[in-house]
Each structure stands twice: as structure tokens, then as C-alpha cells.
Amino acid sequence: MPKPRLKIIPLGGLSEIGKNMMVMEYEDDIIIIDAGLMFPEEGMLGIDLVIPDISYLLEKQEKIKGIVITHGHEDHIGALPYLLPQLNVPVYSTKLTRGLISVKLKERKALAGANLRVVPFGGKITLGKFRVEFFPVCHSIPDAAGLIIHTPVGTVVHSGDFKLDYTPVSGQPTALSRLAQLGGQGVLLLLSDSTYAELPGYTPSERVVGETLDRVMADAPGRVIITTFSSLVSRVQQVIDAAAKHQRRVFIVGRSMSDTARMALELGYLQAPDGILARLDELRGMPHNKIVFVTTGSQGEPTSALVRMANRDHRQVHILRGDTVVISATPIPGNEALINRTLDNLFKQGAQVLYSKVAPVHVHGHASQEELKLLLNLVKPRFFMPIHGEYRHLSLHAKLAQSVGIPKDNTFVLEDGDTLEISPQAGKITDKVASSNVYVDGLSVGDIGGVVIRDRKMLSKDGIVIVVIAINQQTGKVVGRPDIVSRGFVDTRESSDMIEESRDLLARVLDHGGTRPADWGFINTKVRDTLSKFYYEQTRRRPMILPFMVKV
Ligand SMILES: [Zn+2]
Ligand SMILES: [Zn+2]
């Protein structure tokens, strides 16, 4: 009988950026680390969000002891509103992270019944046979944590998302001494953030951005509009600090930015001197060089305040000639097209626009290669598994680990669903569990499958043809020529001859039913086959064909 082993199963976040979720399982105990979402890729038409597939967990529900969240970014908490009602277990996190989780749950009306518990840095919780300790890491959000997980097989260190900023704007620097101490005692496995494993050197400090914002506030002739992620509380703090220094007042615009700022102020993660924050109804008559707006919209989200301002669609604020707009964020992959359109609109309205390609207005929150190596050297794990990143990031990170002396056989590059089993001596990938994308479209979760997306691709590529077929109620026979309506297929005026021809063709094909009542299934198939073939011959396109029956 082999000894029980520790299982590590990523359900999201490996070979992709986003929807991070990691399962750790030992005998009858399971803990889940993070429950994030991913924004859809370009091919996922009409999909709002993507969340991890938890069918593996639903089978073992009684084993799950809790969800441990490293920090409050969407790619770590965003799936909670959808998954928590199904899993119904306590959620452990630091204080600000809990605040952000409750904002998210409230938005989706999933807060009632949620069991959200705060764990301080250095605090330990016992979840079955796992003992989990939170340690501070520096990242682009305050109160971000890494995890030390004591298991019967050995100690596991999970880095969360991290970098090594020695002069962070808010929060604490990464707890290097605690990690070094652990390294001395022996660590079985290190799971470490690979998001920026491609970048050599060190990630610059947040201070760089502070200096740029200071210059912008001093030099801008008119209003300054700064957009960033609502969760980037430290950036909002930098904006407030710079505004205070240059006697500007700060207007926080947009619901998610206001909600987060209010929560961060209440919890003490954001400090604003008296009288610096202003309400939009105080805007009238204020000199332009005394005004700063902070809004969301850095990803070109169509409903965000910045995009509405850029499209002259915002109720209170429009972009004016002389405004300076600062996009203090990097594009999340997949959002580039939306962001570029927003940039163009801002330029058209006469704004001066600063974004990361033209000015140091953002630093990202992840460790570069030298920082990753330092963590490996401090923790000195027996086994190493890169997490959080596309396959190339994970591979490069594994190579870095080997370069600092971790044997190749002890580094494991997994993809979502792969199951790594480790004992104190050895590790092996043994299994693959379900880990596909679960799509969220508006209010519906999970019932959008590949078929729906394929249909949407077809619609977007070749359009749709609707065929209306009249059937006599009494005889059940087809009456007259079918009607054809199309959208996104051909120019109906230019191609009216072809459409007419296809109506004739259909009438002929459907007519030789004789006295037999028409069978709808037969007509449906016949119409699709006939038109697909005919339109393809004529246009080399394959529109979606949708027959409709009207009884007359
Ligand atoms: Zn993060
Ligand atoms: Zn992340």
C-alpha cells in the first residue's frame, strides 16, 4: 500500500493568464487557493467572463475545508460570486481582500450566506490536515499574501502574485526573512508566480509612477484624468498624494471605483487629507488646473466612465481640449483593440494622452527574472512548480529554477487539470481532471458551450438567413413561395436577384410533396441543405440558415 500523497491540481491559471484556482488534496481534506475569472479572448464572442470548471470539486464536496484567497484581484476572486453558492465553504483572506470580495459578492447578489473570515499576516488557520500561514507580499494591490502551507508530506510555499518592491507605496514589502527562515528548515514545494518570467532584471518600484504623477499634476495646463484598475488602491493613493501637493481636488468617478475607494477609506487602506475628495456637483466653476478625475476604463471597457467620457456619452464629464489623460495600467491580453479605440477617441477630443508606451505611468505588479531567482534561492525548495502564466512563462520560469540549481526532474510544468502527486522523495504527474472553460454570458453561467460560440462565430463571419415558410393549417401543405430575410450576409439590394432565385429554388424543392402533409423536420433539413449549397456556390459564404414556420 503506497503512502498517501499530496495532490496539487491547478483548475485554472496555468497555460493562461487569469482564472487562477489551485486545489490541494491530502486524503480526506481539500483546500482551494484562489477562485479567479478570466476576461474572454477575441474568439469568445459575446462572452462576458470565463471561470474555472469545478466539476472535480463538486464530486468531492464533503472534503473541501475552505477557500484561501491570496489577494483581491479579479483573476483571484472574480469567480467567487458564481462558485461560492455551489461550494458553500468558508473563505479566508486578509482584511482588504475580504472587503473587495464582499463588494464583488454584493454586485452579484451573492453576499448573503457567505462566510468570509479575515486572517492577519503571520496568522495561521487549520483546515483539516493543512495548516495555512499568510505572509505579506508586495504586489499591485495592498494586503496581498503568499501562503505557507504545512502538510503531512512537507511544507509548501505559494507565492501568490508578487514582486520585491523595497519601497512600496502602501502595504509591506515581501516577507523575505520569513521565507529565508523556512528555506533553512526545508521546503518541499514552491509554487511561484510566472506572469513576468520573460522579463530580465528587476521590476521597477511603484515610486517611479509617483514621480511621473507628480510631474503631470504640476505641468498639466488643465484637468487631469487618471484611469486605472479600481483595485489598484495604492495607485489611487499616489494620485491623491500628488493632487494634494499641487492643490488639486480629486473626483472619483464611476461606480466600481467609488465603491472600492469608499471601502478602502473605511478600512484605512486609503488616506485622503480633509477636503481633497470632491463630489461631481462641486465641479461647476472650479478652475480646470485644480481638477483631477480618477476613473476606471483603463481596459477600454465599454460601460466604464472613461470610455463614456471619450464618447461624449457621460452625463457629467466630457473630455475637453487641454485635458491630460493618464492611462495608468497595462492592457490585459485580449483588450488591446478596445483600448486602442479609446486612445483614438481621446486624441480626437483633443486630449493629451499618456500611456505606458509613451511615459512611465504604470509599473506592473509581478516579479522579473532576478526577483524570481532570489525567491528560489531563499526558499530552496526540493520541488518547484511555476504557476500563473502562459505555457512559455511557465517553461521559462522552470528554466530559471534549473539555473539556480533545482534538478530538472524536480521541476514540474503543469497545465490546467494536470494532477501532481508528491511524496517527500518524489513527484509525478499522474492524472488529468476536467478543467475546461466555463463561460458566463450576462446572467447565465455554464450553459454557453462550444456550440454557442461556434454559432456566434458563424453569425459574425457570414451572417444569417431567415426563411419564412407558410403552411396551410388544414392541409398541412406548403403555401406559396417562402420569404427570405437576411442580415450580415449580402447587400440585399445588390443581390436581390440571387435572393429571388433562391426563393424560386426553394418553392420548387418543397412543392413536389403532392397531397402529403408537410413534415416540419423534413422541410427544415431540406431548406438548410438546399440554401447552404446554393449560397455557397453563388457567394462562397456559409450563412446560418434558420427556417421558420407560419401556419396560415
Ligand atoms: Zn494580482
Ligand atoms: Zn494574478
Per the residue annotation, which of 71, 362, 366, 397 is the catalytic one?
Answer: 366
In the residue annotation, 519 being an active-site residue is answered as no
Task: Provide the pLDDT for residue 1.
Answer: 44
pLDDT tens per residue, range 268-304: 999 999 999 999 999 999 999 999 999 999 888 888 8
Among the residue ranges 9-13, 35-39, 236-240, the one predicted with the least confidence is 35-39
% the chain with pLDDT above 70 = 94
Say how many Å lie between the CA of residue 74 and the centre of ligand 1. Answer: 8
Least confident piece of the model among 70-79, 159-168, 393-402: 159-168
- Mean pLDDT for 465-475 is 84
Whether 193 is a known active-site residue: answer: yes
The rounded Å distance from CA 366 to ligand 1 centre is: 8
3-state secondary structure of 439: strand
Q: What's the CA-to-centroid distance between 361 and ligand 2, angstroms? A: 20
What are the angstrom distances between the C-alpha of 540 and each of 102, 149, 290, 461, 537? 52, 59, 59, 12, 6
Catalytic residue among 53, 143, 193, 259: 193
DSSP 504-532: HHHHHHHHTTTTSPPPHHHHHHHHHHHHH
The bound ligand whose nearest atom lies closest to the alpha carbon of 365 is 1
Neighbour-count burial for 506-545, b at 16+ CB within 10 Å, e otherwise: beebbeeeeeeebeeeebbebbbebbbebbeeeeeeebbb
Paired residues of 469 in beta bridges: 549
Contact partners, residue 202, CB within 8 Å, separation at least 6:
164, 368, 370, 371
pLDDT of 211: 94
Nearest ligand to the C-alpha atom of residue 75 = 2
Tell which wins on pLDDT, 117 or 545: 117
Give the distance (Å) from ligand 2 centre to CA of residue 75: 5
Q: Measure 401 CA to ligand 1 centroid, in angstroms.
A: 22
What is the SS3 assignment for 86-109? HHCCCEEECHHHHHHHHHHHHHCC
Computed over every residue of the chain, the mean pLDDT equals 90
pLDDT at 492: 77
Closest ligand, as measured to the CA of 100: 1
The residue-averaged pLDDT of 106-132 equals 94
For residue 351, give every residue at least 6 positions away whose Cβ sits within 8 Å of its Cβ, in sequence order, or none: 225, 319, 320, 321, 322, 323, 324, 325
Question: What is the 3-class SS of 254-323, one letter each residue?
Answer: CHHHHHHHHHHHHHCCCCCCCCCEECHHHCCCCCHHHEEEEECCCCCCCCCHHHHHHCCCCCCCCCCCCC
